[in-house]
């Protein structure tokens, strides 16, 4: 007989036995706007199987418990939910990567780091589940479709590792975007400073006020100096444009 009930799971032991009743505690996840984790307890003896979790955890389990005749089928069905979670995280990670190409913001960095932290936690959970299933297999507690369960868990582990690499790539893309913006700004500032250097030289020369400076007594000396500085600036801008420096 199968039973699904609401209960707060506080056990720290992932596997235990009381009389003829075996009990394991495994983590499951859900993605609804943000990623949440729940603890699920599976108990069974020769005839009965009981699955318990928090109220939200039970709602998640209801959608994935397709088979419930044996403890192996229950565990396998619960694990299938993780594929849906990873698919949603993959979509979110892809969106973060696309955003990282075009922008850099503290909010975007925080979102990427939050996803990456969650993926590390999920990776740790999947490793625990794999170790748990291997123990149950070696002790002959679970005998049916154990290889299928382990294969699925290994696929989940590989999937999480891939997504961790994807978030790392998103961070690198943001760093590249930031570096590009800084380099572009520095390039513009350098060009402006380079254009101003000869103009500063010209104004410095004509600001010395020596007596023997014929230009100081020209009627159009002031306009000549302005025209000279404008010509030098335009010439340098033309040169930089030709070299595609901006």
Burial per residue of 71-83, b for 16 or more beta-carbon CB atoms within 10 angstroms, e otherwise: bbbbbbbbbebbe
Q: What is the pLDDT of residue 157?
A: 94
Assess contact for 202 and 232: CB atoms under 8 A.
yes
Q: What is the pLDDT of residue 67?
A: 64
At 12, the pLDDT band (50, 70, 90 cuts) reads low
Assess contact for 32 and 45: CB atoms under 8 A.
no
pLDDT at residue 66 greater than cutoff 80: no
Residue 127: partners with Cβ closer than 8 Å, 6 or more residues away? 157
Sorted by where each begins, the domain ranges of the chain are 2-181, 182-242
At 13, the pLDDT band (50, 70, 90 cuts) reads low
By the 10 Å C-beta count (0-12 exposed, 13-18 middle, 19+ buried), 20 is classed as exposed
Q: Which residue(s) pair with 199 in the sheet?
A: none
Architecture of domain 2-181: Up-down Bundle (1.20)
- 174-227 pLDDT, tens digit per residue, is 888 788 888 888 888 888 888 889 888 888 887 777 777 777 777 777 888 888
At 160, the pLDDT band (50, 70, 90 cuts) reads very high
What's the token pair of residue 166? 């994807």
Average pLDDT rounded to a whole number, residues 60-84: 81
Mean pLDDT of the chain: 84
Local structure of residue 144 (DSSP, 8 states): S
Domain 182-242: state its class: mainly alpha
Q: Which residue(s) pair with 38 in the sheet?
A: 28
């Amino acid at each position: 007989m199968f039973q699904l009930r609401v209960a707060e799971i506080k056990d720290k032991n992932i596997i235990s036995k009381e009389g003829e009743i075996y009990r394991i505690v495994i983590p499951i996840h859900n993605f609804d706007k943000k990623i949440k984790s729940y603890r699920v307890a599976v108990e069974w003896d020769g005839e009965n199987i009981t699955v318990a979790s928090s109220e939200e955890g039970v709602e998640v389990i209801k959608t994935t418990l397709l088979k419930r005749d044996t403890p192996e089928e229950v565990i396998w069905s619960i694990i299938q939910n993780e594929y849906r979670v990873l698919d949603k995280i993959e979509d979110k990670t892809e969106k973060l990567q696309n955003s990282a190409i075009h922008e850099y913001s503290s909010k975007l960095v925080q979102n990427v780091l939050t996803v990456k932290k969650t993926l590390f936690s999920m990776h740790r959970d999947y490793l625990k589940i794999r170790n748990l299933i291997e123990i149950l297999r070696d002790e002959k507690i679970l005998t049916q479709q154990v290889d299928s369960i382990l294969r699925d868990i290994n696929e989940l582990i590989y999937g999480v590792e891939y997504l961790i690499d994807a978030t790392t790539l998103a961070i690198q893309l943001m760093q590249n975007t930031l570096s590009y913006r800084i380099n572009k700004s520095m390039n513009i500032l350098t060009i402006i400073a380079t254009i101003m250097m000869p103009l500063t030289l010209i104004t410095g020369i004509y600001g010395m006020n020596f007596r023997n400076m014929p230009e100081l007594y020209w009627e159009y000396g002031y306009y000549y100096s302005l025209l000279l500085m404008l010509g030098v600036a335009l010439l340098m801008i033309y040169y930089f444009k030709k070299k595609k420096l901006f």
